[in-house]
């Protein structure tokens, strides 16, 4: 059975919005959809995040998790071109952890990335697996849905029941999906495993737009299986009031003095807790080694 759930739900939702001011959205999202403000974002009490333009359907914002080489290569022959168990562990931890034990995260991926996961490991457990495909049929499986477009997936996740049950949304690849989502207005953060060793790839993603994204945390360099890499988190610095999601101080960050120390930790409370902990550890080490 084909599960093109997003398209049907979005059509339904559009009708509900047109016909009634009491939509079936979760409360904060429906308020957002009917506000006269031209453009704004809302931050719900539990930091589930939505963006909306007045008159349009709210969408979830998201974070990207990806491992690119210096020239932004991410894949070869439909697979990962390296074997880095520590990176897989990092990926698992960051995409599994939620701020609310009653919720799970969603991971959005292209159909080819889905197929690159060995059958015995998919769907990736403990997360809602959202597979993007325009044509593919996936057997009806628990915790897997398919969507025909990225926007319909982000819209679906902004409405009930997902606005209540999904904590964070991670876009996890591959190349085609990241070409549309990396650097996008709804992208809050990019968690990058920077592969410093040169490795041949046939799938590439665009460079990070450093006018929008600034480093927030960087691990010391690591080496595994002959591959040198480090973990770096970039946050989206929104430089106008309209672009601010995390409150007024979000705009303050992009003042031309791009020191990551200037970011106030509370402004990026949407980041996974482990990134905060790693950053605290890192700041502690760097300040004590001075
Ligand atoms: N290094 C990393 O962090 C990382 C992460 C993930 C993946 N990868 C690698 O990346 C490679 C796969 O990437 P890829 O670019 O070839 O494929 P992909 O992005 O994973 O999947 C492409 C497929 O997704 C669907 N799709 C694309 N855009 C869509 C849209 N806007 N709306 C709905 N569906 C859409 C289409 O499926 P249909 O053809 O079914 O319509 C398309 O064929 C593999 O080598 C994988 O190992 C690396």
CATH number reported for the structural domain that contains residue 214 in this entry: 3.40.430.10
Q: How far apart are CA 235 and CA 253, in angstroms?
A: 10
Task: Give the nearest ligand 1 atom to 149 CA.
Answer: 32
> Where is pLDDT greater, at 278 or 211?
211
**What's the CA-to-centroid distance between 172 and ligand 1, angstroms?**
9
Tally of structural domains, the chain: 1
Cα–Cα distance between 109 and 247 in angstroms, integer?
29
Q: Which atom of ligand 1 lies closest to the CA of 80?
A: 47
Taking residues 36-45, what's their average pLDDT?
A: 27
Neighbouring C-beta atoms of residue 22, cutoff 10 Å = 9
Domain that holds residue 48: 5-288
Beta carbons of 159 and 13 less than 8 angstroms apart: yes
Average pLDDT of the chain? 78
What distance in Å separates the CA atoms of residue 217 and residue 231, rounded to the nearest whole number? 8
Contact 146, 209 (CB under 8 A): no
Q: Examine the pLDDT at 225 and tell me if it is beyond 70.
A: yes
Task: Please tell me the distance between residue 231's alpha carbon and the centre of ligand 1 in angstroms.
Answer: 22
Residues within a 6 A CB radius of ligand 1: 66-67, 74-75, 78-80, 109-113, 116, 132-136, 148-150, 172-177, 180, 203
Which of 10, 175, 208 to mutate to test ligand 1, by most ligand atoms within 8 A of the CB atom? 175
- The residue whose CA is least distant from atom 39 of ligand 1 is 133
Residue 112 predicted with pLDDT over 80: yes
Cis ω on the peptide bond leading into residue 268 (within 30° of 0)?
no
Look at ligand 1, atom 30, and give the residue with the nearest C-alpha.
149
The H-assigned helical ranges of the chain are 5-19, 27-34, 85-96, 111-116, 150-156, 162-165, 175-181, 249-252, 273-288
The atom number, within ligand 1, closest to the CA of 147 reads 33
| Contact present, 158 and 95 (Cβ < 8 Å) | no
């Amino acid at each position: 059975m084909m599960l093109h759930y997003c398209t049907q739900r979005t059509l339904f939702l559009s009708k509900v919005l047109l016909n009634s001011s009491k939509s079936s959205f979760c409360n904060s999202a429906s308020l957002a959809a009917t506000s006269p403000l031209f453009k704004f974002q809302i931050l719900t009490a539990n930091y589930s995040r939505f963006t909306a333009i007045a008159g349009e359907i709210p969408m979830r914002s998201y974070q990207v998790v990806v491992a690119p080489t210096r020239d932004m290569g991410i894949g070869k022959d439909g697979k990962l071109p390296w074997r880095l168990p520590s990176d897989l562990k990092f990926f698992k931890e960051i995409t599994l952890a939620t701020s609310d034990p009653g919720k799970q995260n969603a991971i959005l991926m292209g159909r080819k990335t889905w197929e690159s996961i060995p059958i015995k490991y998919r769907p990736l457990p403990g997360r809602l697996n959202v597979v993007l495909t325009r044509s593919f049929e996936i057997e009806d499986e628990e915790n897997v849905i398919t969507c025909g477009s990225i926007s319909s997936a982000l819209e679906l996740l902004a409405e009930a029941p997902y606005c209540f049950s999904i904590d964070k949304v991670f876009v996890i690849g591959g190349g085609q999906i990241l070409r549309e989502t990396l650097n996008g207005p709804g992208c809050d953060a990019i968690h990058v495993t920077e592969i410093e060793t040169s490795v041949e790839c046939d799938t590439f993603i665009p460079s990070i737009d450093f006018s929008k994204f600034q480093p927030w945390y960087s691990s010391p360099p690591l080496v595994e299986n002959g591959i040198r890499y480090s973990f770096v988190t970039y946050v989206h610095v929104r430089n106008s009031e309209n672009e601010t999601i995390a409150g007024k101080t979000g705009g303050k960050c992009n003042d031309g003095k791009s020191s990551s120390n200037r970011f106030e930790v509370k402004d990026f409370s949407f980041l996974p807790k482990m990134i905060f902990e790693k950053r605290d550890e890192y700041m502690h080490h760097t300040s004590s080694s001075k």
